[in-house]
Structure 1
């Protein structure tokens, strides 16, 4: 009987740990991204933590009001499957939102709420991250009745903070009227992801860019003096040459790609890892081919961001 109770208790503990392992904790006060979440969960990673911000909005006469101090906190919720944020302003007008990426529509959906204007139906924005900017839209008419959108733009995103712009734009974005600006600085005591987690996330981002055939993003994942060592090919060096190499393939479309590090060793601002990569391509004739290979990567930390310096890979015959 005691043995049965022990195993039941152990099962419950393991189950609860699996349900909560990416939630906020003493070690990770802002939670962690769940590996089973869409890869886009990492779009908000640089914002995770607590920032001190200056907020500035328009007056009714279209002049800018005096700046207001505020804090802006981002954290992972729902066991690392979504992001929640909260602003606390010195004027007492607080707000927050829940951010979820829906893979079926390939978009972020953000539901906003505010202490100043409580409502039974939350307003929603939708959009994506591109070129290190997170841009979200919500349909909204101008005061004169013109169709358009309220556009939110997270930009100048870095480990040290970010800027935020809220503006009304017409439907083709040939006209814009900024109404709200926020500039945020990350608090230094905010716990960031470990170097190993950052490298694993960089590998996931590489796969994401490869599947999107975003060759500029792929090239930017390397250092400016990087060298790659493709299978049965000479050494290729530098941004433009690396971009050309990755964009030069034809006759197929990548439909699956995954990098699986087996060991990551970090020494200061350099690191190396090795492991397995695998994927699937769809040929122009409709046939599909799966593949698998092995790799070794040497990383360098440049401006607090891990980038590949040396990248060698080759296929495994099966």
Structure 2
């Protein structure tokens, strides 16, 4: 996979992570009571995701997805299932990922469908030592 295509995949991957995370429900103390994750909770998930990537822990990053989640990288096949998503993010780590940040701006849900709007920044160190920033 060429570098440009990989970076485009990373961009979409982060957008999907936000979408998957926003659909995740938080169980409240009472039985059978659920509510959508708040913007603050999504923000924490994003920080946990970025921290996992920088720590080169693809397993921790993938664990923020549901077991049957799908990642939709552009111009590539759909990546389905947590194990395959873990392998995808391991590819980003292996490509030289050195820094990541993700920020939730807004989020909402209707029933079991949720969305997230946010920003991200990824930094990769190329083989020649140069830093590539993807925003």
TM range (shorter): 0.5 to 0.7
Higher strand share: 1
Larger Rg: 1
Q: Distance in 2 between matches of 1:216 and 1:250?
A: 11
Q: Which runs of 5+ in 2 are unaligned?
A: 1-26, 30-36
User: TM-score with structure 1 length normalisation?
Assistant: 0.29
Answering whether residue 44 of structure 2 is matched by residue 201 of structure 1, we say yes
Residue 254 of structure 1: CA displacement?
Answer: 1.9
Residue 246 of structure 1: CA displacement?
Answer: 1.2
Instruction: Tell me if structure 2 keeps the 8 A contact 1:264–1:273.
Output: yes
User: TM-score with structure 2 length normalisation?
Assistant: 0.65
1:286 aligned to which of 121, 126, 129: 129
Q: Which runs of 5+ in 1 are unaligned?
A: 1-158, 161-185, 187-193, 293-318
- Superimposed CA distance per residue, residues 189-247 of structure 1 (whole angstroms, 9 cap, x where no aligned partner): xxxxx722111110111011111110111111101110001132111100111111111
Q: Distance in 2 between matches of 1:272 and 1:250?
A: 26
1:272 matched residue in structure 2: 115
1:254 aligned to which of 93, 97, 101: 97
Q: Distance in 2 between matches of 1:249 and 1:279?
A: 10
Answering whether residue 54 of structure 2 is matched by residue 237 of structure 1, we say no
Higher helix share: 2
| Residues matched between the structures, number | 102
Q: Distance in 1 between matches of 2:61 and 2:103?
A: 17
- Superimposed CA distance per residue, residues 262-295 of structure 1 (whole angstroms, 9 cap, x where no aligned partner): 3211335542112221121112321111111xxx
1:270–1:196 distance in 2 versus 1, CA, 3 Å: farther
Residue 251 of structure 1: CA displacement?
Answer: 5.9
Instruction: Tell me if structure 2 keeps the 8 A contact 1:251–1:284.
Output: no
Q: Distance in 2 between matches of 1:261 and 1:241?
A: 25
1:249–1:196 distance in 2 versus 1, CA, 3 Å: closer
Instruction: Tell me if structure 1 keeps the 8 A contact 2:53–2:93.
Output: no
Residue 256 of structure 1: CA displacement?
Answer: 1.9
Q: Distance in 2 between matches of 1:218 and 1:247?
A: 9
